[in-house]
Each structure stands twice: as C-alpha cells, then as structure tokens.
Structure 1
Amino acid sequence: MASDIADQVTPDQLFQRAAALHRQGKIDLAIIAYRKILQMAPEHAGVWGNLGVALRTKGDFPAAVIAYKRALEIVPGDPGITGNLGNALKDMDRLEEALDAHCRAAAAQADDFNIRYNYGIALRESALYEQSLVELEAAIALKPGDPHPRWDRAIALLHLGRFREGWAAYETRWQTGELPKRPVAVPRWQGEGFEGKTLLVFAEQGFGDSILTSRFIPLIKERAGEGAAAGRVILECKAPLQDLFSDIEGIDRMVEPGESDDDYDLEVPIMSLPGIFGASDENLPPPPNLHIPDYARQKAQVLLRQDARFKVGIVWSGSVTFKGNRKRAVGVENFLPFAEVSGVDLYALQKGPRSGDLEIAGGGAVVTAIGEQLDSFAETAAVLNELDLVIMTDSSVAHLAGSLGRPVWNLLNKATYWLYRGEDETTPWYPSMKLFRQDAAGEWEPVFEHVRQALTTAVAAKRAGRWPE
C-alpha cells in the first residue's frame, strides 16, 4: 500500500515540496530533492531552473550555469531562465556572455522588473554606468516602491561623478532593510545650525567608510554656534578607531555603538556627511589629523626590522562579511613574487579569517606576518608610517594609508568602489594613492605583473633618494 501511494506522487508534487525547502532556506536539502526529481523527470525545466538558483545561492556558479543551460535546452529562450543564466555568468566574470543573456531576456520581456534590474546590475559590474542607469531607471518605473534599484542607481550616479543626484539618492540605503535601525528615534540632522543641541554622528558601514568620511567631521562644528551655547558633537564608532580619531577637531566625546548614555537631540550617519557638505572631486576637505600615540609608534619599531631595505606591507582581502569581497580579494600567493624583487621585505598586515592564508600558501617563512598583532587602527597607522609602501586590494587599510598620506598601491577589480571611478591612476580623495586596475573582470595576472615592474622601479628610486615620489 505504501509503495502504491509513493508511486502516485508526481514529479510536480515533489517539485512543490523541494521548492518549499528552498524558500525556507534549506538549500542543501532542496538541491538533493531537485536532483532526485531529475532522476524521475530529467526534462523538467522548472527543476533545472530552480536547481540553478540554489546552486548560485551556494556560490557554485559553474554548476548553476550548467543547470540554467539544461533548462534552456528544454524551454529555449525563456526570459526568466535566460536572465538567471546572465546572473551566474556575471558571478563568474564572463561579462560579455552575461550581458548578451541579459539583453536577450530584456528584449523578450521588457516589462519584467527582475529582468531589467538584473540587467542594470550586470551593466554596472561591467563598468558601463550610463547603460546601467537606463536599466535601473526602467526597473524603478516598473516597481517604484522597491528601494533596491534606487540604491543601485545612487552608486551608478556616484561612479559617473553626478554627485548632487548621487548623494541624494544615496540616502535610499536606509530603506533597503540592510542597515540596522537606530535604537532611539530622533530627528536626522540635515546640515542646519544646532546651537544649544547635541548631535550624534554614528558609523554605519565598514571601518574604511568611517575613515574616508572622517574628514567632514571638523566641518560639522562650524554649524554648532559659538560660546557656552555651542552645540556638542558625539561620535559613535567602534573601539579600534577611537585612538586614531581622538585628535579630530570638533569631536566633544566618543562612544562605542550602543553605549551613549547622553541625551542627544539630532543624529546623522557618517556616510551622509559628503552629501550634506556637497562633496565632489573639486571641493574635498583634506583628511583630518589622525592620532598615533607613542605606545603605537614604539610597537611599530619593534614589529618592523630597522634597516634600509624597502619595506612593503601587503593586504589581500577586506572583510569577508562584505558581499562584494569575493570580487575584490585575491589569494596571497599573488603577492609572494614581490619578495623576489631585490631589496624588498614583505610584511603581512592582513587581519581576520584570511590571515591564515599566508601559512597555507607557504609564505610564512619569507613574509613577516604582523597583522594579528595590531590591536587598533592607531597601531596600524604607526606601522604604515614605518613602511615604504603598501600594496593591497581595496579595504580599510587603503583608506588609512591614503588618509595618512602614505604611499599605497590599490589593486582594483573591474567594478570598483565609486571612489575610484573612471580610468585614472589617481583619486582626488587620496593623493598618495596609485590605482592599478583590471582591464578585464577577474583577470588579476596582468595587474600583478604591472605592480611587480613598478615595484622594481620604486626600489631603485629609494636607492637614488627619490622615494616617496
């Protein structure tokens, strides 16, 4: 009897059960279920399509591409599956194929929100920002209440240098649900005078973003009024930044997130400050004074060898929790050939889960790892002051080195942070920073070869007394 009942369960019924597991986030179980159904019904396009979605969620992009292509063999030209294929191809940096798939999907179903939105994202990751805007605005028109395409539109505008529009649109980030709600409901500061009031400036994203925008904090105090009634400024930021920020003009007090016991009248996210002060490439305030305490300088002297060799700090990954880190981070093995350049010593500044990559790659004997011994950004700053150069993929240390005016070579993936827009080798935000860019998405080898050649030249420049340039 039980066998007869099981025989009556159709592939479509099993598909519904597998899809329910998928919706519940039980991805591994859903994949197992989809594969079992395909043993019964290998021509079930819906199962192949859903299997592709599940595999992409797991990061198995090549397998997802195969699943989507199998589905398209069964239902050729299906716009939804074609768009999903474009997403997986984009994840693999096969951008030309991805854009072709997205273009075909949009042509077949121009009134589909997801298809137009995903096409816009693929164009943005291909650094085609004008075309990206067209698709994102089409998606916004199809679904005006969804904040996500409006947020991605903000990023495209900043890449294009359309700062007035970009900063206004950048505020959409608070509607996406990806940032935590504030614990106390107080009015948002818009840049008005605040004499007699207390303003809380709070960090909201990564350490690098706080370092980048700390340059605007001294401008806040200019709007606080004067004398005994002048407004107060409290900066809420994590402990690793507090020593570093302690000399920034205009901060009356610093607190860690969730620890402010002061009543405050207004608040502002630190990443909203560029918009409030109308920041553009032409009117940037300089980075603020960053404090490096004596204990940090002494520690740096101990951690680095005191000789005349060309000291290079390396960082190969930003925060692993940042969803775009996979595209910007690289393996530490790419950096090891720099140690072959005559006169160079490498110091690994990497912290966190990826710091162990050095030993795995066999570089522990030839690279001095000091990142995990640095307990604050003030200590990292002290080390940066002792190094001749930092070579790294984009993360918070790049912002710190740039703010200190230290030589830093920032190795960028194809779809960069908006700060590094365009094709130049420099950015007005950090004059001491040189940018090395991918010509093609995912292709790091030419970038590292270019850097190695430039490093040889830099070592020679130091020997000639011309470093830093």
Structure 2
Amino acid sequence: MTDRGWTEAMRAERYEDAWAIEQAVLAARDPATRDDPRLPYHQRWVWDGRALDGCDVLVRCYHGLGDTLQFARFLPALAARVRSVTLEAPARLHALLRFPGVTLAAFDPAHPLPPAERDVEITELCSALRLSPRDAPAPYLHVAPAPLPAATIGLCWQAGDWDADRWIAPDLLAPIAAQHRCLSLVSAPTDLPVVNPQGCPFDLPATAALVAGCALVVTVDTMIAHLAGALGRPTWLLLKAAPDWRWNPARTDSAWYGSIRLYPQPAPGDWATPLAAVARDLAAFEGVHHGQSSRPVGARLLG
C-alpha cells in the first residue's frame, strides 16, 4: 500500500481512515489477481477482505524479515479469534516467532503452502483484525540476553540492498565507536573499534540475544530496528529524509515501538545532522560510560 492518503493516515494514527482506504483499494481489485504467481512475492496481495474469525487461517510472510517481525505482534490476537493459525515464515525466524496457538511452517518460495480456508499476508493483519499497533504494544518478542558488558551499544549501518539511501558509511560511526563500548550488529567484518570486529553472526536467535543484551541500539532502517523494537530495547533509528511509511519524520517517537527514538535526515544525504544529535544524546544517555576501551567478545557470546 503506497497511497499517499493512506500513508498520512497511518502516520497520524488515524487507523480507521487508513483501513477505509484499504477496503476501497481491495474492492477495486480483480479477485483473479489475488496471490498472483506471476508477480514477485513482495508485490502480491493475499487477503480477500472476508472476516477471519472462526476460520483456519494461513498467514503468509511475503515481505522482508523486518515486516514479519513488525506485524508478528498481531499473531496472539489472531490466534484468540480463529480456529487455527499456521504461520508460513522463513525458517530462520522460527525461533523468535513461537506464540501459543500458532503453528510454524517454513516458507519455501519454490513450493508455498496450498491455500487455507482464509489466507492473509502478515502485513495485512492490522487491517484484517482492525487492530492498531497500540493494541499490541512491544515488547512482544522475548529472548534471553547475551551477557554483554554493561552500557554496550549495538551499531547497525547497513540496510537491504534495495535501498542504498538507508545505508550509512561505517566511518561516520567511528567517533561513536571510539568513545563508547560498541558492538557491531552487521554480519560482516569491520574496521570500526567495536568489541566484535569480525561482525555479528548470521544467525537470528544469536543476533536477537545480542540485541537483547545491549543497553542501546543505534541503527539504520532495517530488520535490526524492528528486532530491537519488538524486544523493547532502547533504539535510536537513523532515517533517510523521506523514510518508509511506518516512520513519521515529523516526530521523534513511533506508535509501533515505544522504545524507539527517530533521528531523520533534514535533507537527502545529510547524515551529519542526525549523527550529531545522536552524539549529543549519547553524552547524556544513562548508563553509558566514556573512555572505556574495547575488548574482544568471546566465542560463547557470538557463536
């Protein structure tokens, strides 16, 4: 959904207006194009508008990992209203998505599950259930935190390849990493002075444990932001000037995650301004100690 009016309604938390726009769009669609196999998965629509209550429901996860984590908040409410729920999600997410009443199935793009009595894409649950993010607040994911040193700050500067404007050159974070004990949440080696220069493991449960153990996460708009928000960790989100629909650049907070603080660019390409604000706020961040030297994190933490 990219309708400007819908985006404005969602950002203003006028959810009834947003859902009305969605219903109008749904009514205008050709039913024959539902879950159209000719389209890439992320461009498909799945829910046909019928009520889900009392049915056997298949929840498909056709979008990114961050989208799945963001909308997973609605799965317990769905399970309480329907006969059964099957969640067809990437297998690497399964350890994080264990909710009572929800059966997990691995999403294989080459062999998706056959339709159920009701199908819905996970990002359609907000509208299908008529629930706002404040009806299902974070934290709603829970993992045991990795035993990191106090005041460790997690850093993530890479986002998906589909939007390079979300990325930050890692050297722009060097002043922060030099002054605070920092941990990389990027699954690649780095020259930044962090406690794990080899990078974060390419394993979501292990990454979630590291995020849960951080005192603060500073990240660009990517899956790490949703993971940290869903875990309820203090998260400072660096946004490009025209961010995704779910973030309102005119605000510093988010209805989706109560622990997130937004740092948008004032103009495209200007990362200096939000990073300067982050640096100022870090000086006052409770529990962060200046002048601590980095030290390697053992294999027991990083897997």
TM-score (norm: length of structure 1):
0.53
* Alignment partner, residue 184 of structure 2: 348
**1:313 counterpart residue number:** 154
Q: Distance in 2 between matches of 1:332 and 1:170?
A: 39
Aligned residue runs from structure 1 range 40-189, under 5 A = 151=3, 154-170=6-22, 179-180=40-41, 188=48
The residue that corresponds to 2:125 in the other structure is 273
Does the aligned pair in 2 maintain the 1:426–1:433 contact within 8 Å? yes
Q: What is the identity, as a one-letter code, of the residue corresponding to 2:182? A: L
Q: Distance in 1 between matches of 2:139 and 2:182?
A: 29
Deviation digits for residues 427-458 of structure 1, max 9, x if unmatched?
12211111112222221111111111111211
In terms of fraction of residues, the more strand-rich structure is 2
Structure 2 unpaired stretches of 5+: 290-303
**1:210 paired residue number:** 68
- Aligned equivalents of 2:214, 2:229: Cα separation in 1: 13
Task: Give the structure with higher Rg (CA).
Answer: 1
CA RMSD of aligned residues (A): 3.3
Name the SS for the 2:238 alignment partner. strand
Shift in Å, 1:153 = 5.2
Match of 1:448 among 262, 272, 275: 275
User: How many Å apart are 1:424 and its aligned residue?
Assistant: 2.0
Match of 1:193 among 53, 62, 65: 53
- Asked if residue 240 in structure 1 is aligned to residue 92 in structure 2, the reply is yes
Unpaired stretches in structure 1, ≥5 consecutive residues? 1-147, 225-230, 464-469
Which of 319, 336, 342 is 2:174 aligned to? 336
In structure 1, what is the Cα distance between the partners aligned to 2:282 and 2:231? 21
Structure 2: distance between partners of 1:160 and 1:215: 20
Distance 1:221 1:436, change over 3 A: same
Aligned residues between the structures = 279
Structure 1 residues 265 and 187, CA gap change in structure 2 (3 angstroms):
farther
Displacement of 1:159:
3.6
Aligned to 1:434: 261
1:391 maps to which residue? 218
Match of 1:416, SS state, is coil
* TM-score, length of structure 2 as denominator length: 0.79
Secondary structure (helix, strand or coil) at the match of 1:405 reads coil
The structure carrying a bigger helix percent of its residues is 1
Change (3 A) 1:447 1:260: closer
Corresponding residue for residue 375 of structure 1: 203
SS in 2 for 1:390: strand
Matched to 2:196, the amino acid is T
Cα deviation, 1:196-238, whole Å, max 9, x if unaligned, reads: x5211011111111111111111112322xxxxxx22100000
Q: Which amino acid aligns with 2:276?
A: E
Contact 2:68 2:123 in 1 (8 A): yes
1:371 Cα deviation after fit: 4.2
1:254 aligns with 2:94: no
Q: 1:154 deviation in Å?
A: 3.6
Separation (CA, whole Å) in 2 of partners of 1:382 and 1:257? 26
Correspondence 1:326 to 2:164: yes
Contact in 2 for aligned 1:405/1:432 (Cα 8 Å) = yes
